[in-house]
Amino acid sequence: MCGTRTPFVANDTVSADSRVLIRFSAGLASDPNDAFLARALGTLTADRIREALDVDVRSRGLSGGTTTNADAASAVAEGRVLGVRFVLSGTVTRNDDRSIVNWRLVDARSGREQSSGTITQQYGQADSLVGAMTSALTRAFGKPSFVPQPQDRLTTLKREALLAYLQALTESDAFDRDRLTRADSLFNVAVSSDPNFAAARYKLAELALRQLDYVEQREAERTALFTKGMWNVGAVLLRDPLNTRALALLGRLTLHGTSPQLALPIVAALQRLAPGNAETATLEAHTLRALGRDAEALRAVRAAGSTVDRNVSALMVRADLERRVGDVINACRSLNRAVALDPLFAPAYVWRAVVRSTLGERREGWADAEVSTRLGRRDWGELTGALIDLSMRDTVRAKARVKPLMLDASLQQASWLDLVLRAAVTHGLRVPNQAQLAVRQIPCREPRRAMLAREPLLKFLRIPPECGGARPQPKA
């Protein structure tokens, strides 16, 4: 936990009664595609449970188990370590063109089995498998059945579209350019095979946003991603104009366009449709921050209260705003919560490492930097490690870390976060021309460029007015 050596930082206090562990695996001698279905079954069930119930899904996806008993026992043991209430585990196998799922729902505290069963469906009817798993959990919590939104349903009848979609899900949570490109290609296959496949279109728009947020800084590629994202989320909204999640995604994509202020009418529409929704509060905070109204953004996200405590994007923007005003204690709380909600979300570890260096927890900060390398990109670990080195006045080690990352080829492939961290490290090393060189790689049309003037890591750095065209030269 961030702040464990700082007594006035509260740890995560979410009740164990609201936690769930979901774990599926491919059975012995199964078809290779069963691994994709197993991972997708865990991922999609987790997403629906978050929508249906006020619960945390502490883990999800593919496990290493190969037999039902061994997998269930290891999942329950893992659930007890994580402090969850229920553990849903199972295996996925194939028999001709049918998928067979053997599943168990266990109370992790008592070890008592709540329910179990075997479901057999045609391979193309994966949505009914996800629905059955969701129903098992909603019954365990004593809640009514949940009806998912259109973009969450696997309604395609085209086998190739479904298979491409399931394969893409295994790559779409990455932060690596190559993996996200593969996911983009697979989602495109799914949409091409079935243009009415709303789930694939929504995921393609989400993927475009992820690439815009964390991967792509080249102007031509960003324009293509922006167009693709808007086109696909627009297709979802044509079928369901009052879909709040799709509207929020439309707003987030709009912030990457040339006129971020166009997101304000979308915020107003969401405030009428879903005033207490986490997506509404998140988009409002993102929009106000993009327009330079940080104080208003922070008030808005704080006013939302516990609504944003189960939304990783909301927690990240709240942590960023709190860090910018110097409130590292509350930023620390928000990052703790984000890591608890999604242990695979690498940017949360990046910023928690930065906050930990401020709190003097350098050993824990280095651990977070290492995790960000494994889950995200090597550059993130090196750059956050360099910032921690600077907090210890170890300029020799910081220079050794950042020097290869300031070469021409490295800068040309760097993302927004990579470039901000490069600028922060070189600014801390008192090499302002190198910091400005990193800033110049950010395109003029990048809306977040205006936020650099308010970035604490770049305090007192003169942000160059010119941009997008300077060729980086390695420092001698």
| pLDDT tens figures, 390-419 | 999 999 999 999 999 998 888 888 889 999
Question: What is the pLDDT confidence band of residue 60, given thresholds at 50, 70 and 90?
Answer: low
Rounded to whole angstroms, the Cα distance separating 215 from 330 reads: 27
Classified as helix, coil or strand, 106 is strand
Is the pLDDT at 120 greater than 80, yes or no?
Answer: yes
Backbone angles phi, psi at 8, to 5 degrees: -90, 10
What are the residues facing 116 on neighbouring strands? Answer: 104
Question: What is the pLDDT confidence band of residue 297, given thresholds at 50, 70 and 90?
Answer: very high
pLDDT of residue 58: 65
pLDDT of residue 204: 96
pLDDT of residue 4: 56
Cα 264 to chain centroid distance, Å, stands at 23
pLDDT of residue 130: 86
Structure tokens that stand for 174 in this block:
């990455």
Structure tokens that stand for 23 in this block:
């774990």
Q: What is the mean pLDDT of residues 337-346?
A: 88
pLDDT of residue 140: 82
Structure tokens that stand for 313 in this block:
């994007």
pLDDT of residue 138: 84
- Are 306 and 14 in contact, with CB atoms under 8 Å apart? no
Q: What is the mean pLDDT of residues 461-465?
A: 78
- Are 407 and 445 in contact, with CB atoms under 8 Å apart? no
- Give 67 or 131, the one with higher predicted confidence: 131
Structure tokens that stand for 335 in this block:
């990052």
Select from 308, 266, 311 the least CA-distant residue to 287: 266
- Are 83 and 47 in contact, with CB atoms under 8 Å apart? no
Question: What is the pLDDT confidence band of residue 467, given thresholds at 50, 70 and 90?
Answer: low
In 135-233, DSSP assigns E strands to: none
Question: What is the pLDDT confidence band of residue 13, given thresholds at 50, 70 and 90?
Answer: very low
pLDDT of residue 70: 52
Angle at 279 between CA 339 and CA 131, to 5 degrees: 80
Helices (H) and strands (E) in the chain, counts: 20, 5
pTM of the entire structure? 0.87
Question: Taking the domains of the chain in order of start, what are their residue ranges?
Answer: 16-148, 159-254, 348-476
159-254, CATH topology level: 1.25.40
* CATH code assigned to 16-148: 3.40.50.11830
Looking at 413-471, list the stretches that DSSP marks H as alpha helix, in order from N- to C-terminal side.
416-428, 432-440
